[in-house]
C-alpha cells in the first residue's frame, strides 16, 4: 500500500458536459477557450505570456487527449499525438450543482443528489427576515450589498462605506453561498468569523451550501485587497467521504488549501494553508514529505477560480496554468514507487463565458501511478470514480458511488 496525492485545479474544466444546456453553459470550455484566445494573440497581458498555451508536462500526462475525449476536439495549439505517460481521461459530474462543495464531495465519492438553495439575482437578494436576524443576532447595524456581486468589485464599491458605518458587506452569486466581507482591523477578523458562524446557522433553513468570510485590508477603495484569511463554513457532506474512509482505515488525510473548509473539517488529519497557487504547491510538497503508506494528500489550487475564472481574466488564467505546469516535475520527483497522483478539477469557470459564475463542464482526470503503465480511462460518468480509484489504491472497501478505473 502506497500513498495517494489528489490535486484539484479549481475550475479547470475541459468542456463537453452532457447536461451543460440545463445550466445555461452549453459550449463553455475553460481549457479550449483559453487555448484559442492564446492562439489568436488574446492571451498576452503585460508580458506575462505570448503565443500558444504551453503545458508540456500536463500534455505528457495526457491532457490534450483528455480534452478531446471531453469536448470532441483538441484545444488549439496542443498536441494529442504525444503518447501519454500516465493515466488520462475525463469525467462528467452527476451532482445537481456546479459549485465547489458539489464538485469536491463528488470527487471524494459522495455525489450531491439534492438541490441546493440559491438567492435570487435581485436587489435585495436576501429575504428581509434573514437580514433582520443577522442584524439582531450578529449585533451589526445593518448590511451593505445584499446582491449578486464579484467580491473584488463590491469591496471597491462599498469598502469605504463599510469603514464609516461598521456594516458588513454581504453578497452572493450563482452558487449556493452567502459571503461576508469585512475589514480585518476596523471590523476585526475574529468578529467576522463569529458573524459567519451565526449566519451559518441562520441560512440552514434556506439550504445554503457555504458561508464565506472574506476579510480585506487597505485604507481606501484604491488600496483595498482581500487577505489570505478567507474561511469557509460548509454544511456537512450527507454521508462519509473518501477522507472519512481513509481515517477510519487508520490512514492520515493531509489537506492543502481550502479542502478542510469544504468538508467542514470532517475526516481531516492535518491542515496546511497558504495564499496563492505557488505557496499551495510548496505546501503540497511539504505534505508529501509527511505522508506515509495509506495516507491521502488532498490539495486545492484556488487561484485559477478566484483570481482568473471569476474575474474573466483569460491571460491570467493562461499564465497560472503554465506556472503550475512548470512546477509539475517537482511533484513528480516527490512520488515514491507505488504512489498514485491524480490531477483533476471540481467544475469549470470559463473566463470567456458570460457572467462571472462557474460553468458546467467535464473535468480532466490525468495523473500517474508511479511504476505503473499508461492508462486510458475514457470518459467517466461520475467524478465519484476518482474517489473510488483512490480508495481502491489505498486498499479501502468499495463505497456506495462510483467505480474504480484502476
With contact defined as beta carbons under 8 Å apart, do 31 and 376 qualify? no
> What's the confidence (pLDDT) of residue 46?
45
> What's the confidence (pLDDT) of residue 201?
95
- Tens of pLDDT along 40-81? 876 555 444 567 899 999 999 999 999 999 999 999 999 999
* Residue showing cell 469598502: 159
* Residue showing cell 458562524: 197
Radius of gyration from C-alpha coordinates of the chain: 21
Alpha carbons 238 and 267: distance in angstroms, whole number: 13
Alpha carbons 349 and 374: distance in angstroms, whole number: 29
Q: Measure Cα distances from 111 to 228, 254, 389 in Å.
A: 29, 22, 15
Residues in the chain, overall count = 406
> What's the confidence (pLDDT) of residue 355?
85
CB neighbour class for 177 (10 Å; exposed up to 12, middle 13-18, buried from 19): buried
What is this structure's pTM?
Answer: 0.90
Alpha carbons 286 and 134: distance in angstroms, whole number: 40
Which residues, given as ranges, of the chain have pLDDT below 70?
A: 1, 42-50
> What's the confidence (pLDDT) of residue 115?
87
Start-to-end C-alpha separation, the chain: 14
> What's the confidence (pLDDT) of residue 97?
85
* Residue showing cell 479547470: 12
Neighbours of 355 (CB within 10 A): 15
Which three-class secondary structure state does DSSP give residue 241? coil
Instruction: Return all residues near 269 (Cβ < 8 A) that are at least 6 apart.
Output: 247, 252, 253, 254
> What's the confidence (pLDDT) of residue 50?
64
- Tens of pLDDT along 283-331? 999 999 999 999 999 999 999 998 999 989 999 999 999 999 999 999 9
Alpha carbons 4 and 193: distance in angstroms, whole number: 32
Cell numbers representing residue 386 in the block: 476518482
> What's the confidence (pLDDT) of residue 151?
83
Q: Which DSSP helix (H) or strand (E) runs through 344? A: strand 340-344
Alpha carbons 177 and 175: distance in angstroms, whole number: 5
Closest by Cα among 75, 109, 79 to 91: 109
> What's the confidence (pLDDT) of residue 251?
97
Cell numbers representing residue 231 in the block: 474561511
> What's the confidence (pLDDT) of residue 42?
62
Closest by Cα among 392, 403, 406 to 94: 403
CB neighbour class for 39 (10 Å; exposed up to 12, middle 13-18, buried from 19): middle
* Residue showing cell 468499495: 398
Region at 9 (left for phi over 0; alpha for psi -120 to 50; beta for the rest):
beta
> What's the confidence (pLDDT) of residue 173?
87
User: E strands of 1-118, at which residues?
Assistant: 4-9, 87-91
Closest by Cα among 404, 360, 369, 367 to 384: 404
User: E strands of 194-328, at which residues?
Assistant: 210-217, 225-226, 231-234, 253-256, 270-272, 296-301
Closest by Cα among 16, 53, 69 to 376: 69
Amino acid at each position: 500500500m502506497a500513498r495517494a496525492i489528489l490535486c484539484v485545479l479549481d475550475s479547470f474544466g475541459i468542456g463537453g458536459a452532457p447536461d451543460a444546456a440545463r445550466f445555461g453553459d452549453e459550449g463553455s470550455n475553460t481549457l479550449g477557450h483559453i487555448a484559442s484566445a492564446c492562439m489568436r494573440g488574446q492571451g498576452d497581458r503585460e508580458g506575462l505570456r505570448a503565443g500558444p498555451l504551453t503545458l508540456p508536462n500536463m500534455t505528457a500526462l495526457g491532457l490534450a487527449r483528455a480534452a478531446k475525449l471531453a469536448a470532441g476536439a483538441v484545444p488549439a495549439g496542443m498536441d494529442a499525438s504525444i503518447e501519454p505517460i500516465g493515466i488520462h481521461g475525463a469525467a462528467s459530474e452527476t451532482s445537481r450543482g456546479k459549485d465547489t462543495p458539489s464538485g469536491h464531495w463528488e470527487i471524494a465519492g459522495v455525489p450531491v443528489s439534492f438541490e441546493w438553495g440559491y438567492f435570487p439575482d435581485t436587489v435585495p437578494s436576501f429575504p428581509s427576515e434573514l437580514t433582520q436576524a443577522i442584524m439582531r443576532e450578529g449585533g451589526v447595524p445593518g448590511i451593505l450589498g445584499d446582491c449578486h456581486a464579484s467580491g473584488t468589485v463590491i469591496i471597491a464599491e462599498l469598502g469605504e462605506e463599510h469603514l464609516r458605518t461598521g456594516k458588513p458587506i454581504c453578497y452572493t452569486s450563482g452558487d449556493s453561498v452567502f459571503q461576508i466581507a469585512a475589514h480585518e482591523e476596523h471590523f476585526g477578523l475574529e468578529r467576522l468569523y463569529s458573524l459567519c458562524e451565526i449566519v451559518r446557522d441562520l441560512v440552514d433553513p434556506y439550504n445554503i451550501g457555504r458561508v464565506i468570510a472574506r476579510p480585506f485590508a487597505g485604507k481606501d477603495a484604491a488600496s483595498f485587497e482581500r487577505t489570505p484569511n478567507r474561511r469557509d463554513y460548509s454544511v456537512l457532506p450527507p454521508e462519509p467521504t473518501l477522507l472519512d474512509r481513509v481515517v477510519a482505515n487508520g490512514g492520515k488525510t493531509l489537506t492543502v488549501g481550502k479542502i478542510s473548509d469544504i468538508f467542514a473539517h470532517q475526516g481531516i488529519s492535518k491542515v496546511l494553508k497558504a495564499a496563492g497557487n505557488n505557496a499551495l504547491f510548496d505546501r503540497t510538497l511539504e505534505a508529501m514529505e509527511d505522508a506515509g503508506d495509506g495516507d491521502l494528500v488532498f490539495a486545492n489550487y484556488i487561484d485559477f477560480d478566484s483570481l482568473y475564472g471569476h474575474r474573466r481574466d483569460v491571460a491570467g488564467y493562461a499564465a497560472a496554468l503554465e506556472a503550475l505546469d512548470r512546477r509539475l516535475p517537482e511533484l513528480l520527483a516527490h512520488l515514491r514507487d507505488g504512489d498514485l497522483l491524480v490531477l483533476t478539477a471540481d467544475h469549470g469557470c470559463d473566463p470567456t463565458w458570460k457572467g462571472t459564475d462557474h460553468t458546467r463542464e467535464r473535468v480532466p482526470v490525468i495523473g500517474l501511478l508511479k511504476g505503473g503503465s499508461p492508462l486510458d480511462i475514457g470518459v467517466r460518468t461520475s467524478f465519484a470514480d476518482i474517489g473510488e480509484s483512490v480508495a481502491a489504491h489505498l486498499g479501502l472497501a468499495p463505497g456506495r458511488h462510483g467505480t474504480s478505473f484502476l
